[in-house]
Structure 1
Amino acid sequence: MSINNGISDYSVFGALALIILLASKKMLKASDEWNKNLSSFFEMSIVPLTIAFLAVIIFYIMQLMSQ
């Protein structure tokens, strides 16, 4: 077991959720099932996950630069 002095290891789940949502959006957009409600759902879920993902990446880069 290792001690992490930064962001939780569970940030991987957020990245996986982002990838799954982006892939689902791409597949559904190409189908006949796409509508305004689905577009709104994906925008409301992808934007915050993207911001969190970028924050985690920036934190890891800052952590690597300080070592």
Structure 2
Amino acid sequence: MKQPKTGPVGNGVVEGPSAMQWISFIGVMFGGVLNLIVGIKRYVDYKKAVNKGTNSQKDSSE
């Protein structure tokens, strides 16, 4: 964000975020949400593989 100028050079009004700041913010948020989805999917797949391996070990020991 830009620092507001006060006194003879400005009236202290702060401008909103620029287009590039919005694009950066939205890109980072999108990347984080995508990473969360991929992470949850990989965890679920991992848990299924671990449980499948545990069950097959129980079957082979009997």
Give the TM-score range, shorter chain: 0.3 to 0.5
* Superposition TM-score, scaled by structure 2 size: 0.46
Q: Looking at both structures, which has the greater relative contact order when contacts are Cα pairs under 8 Å and sequence separation is at least 6?
A: 1
TM-score, structure 1 length as denominator?
Answer: 0.43
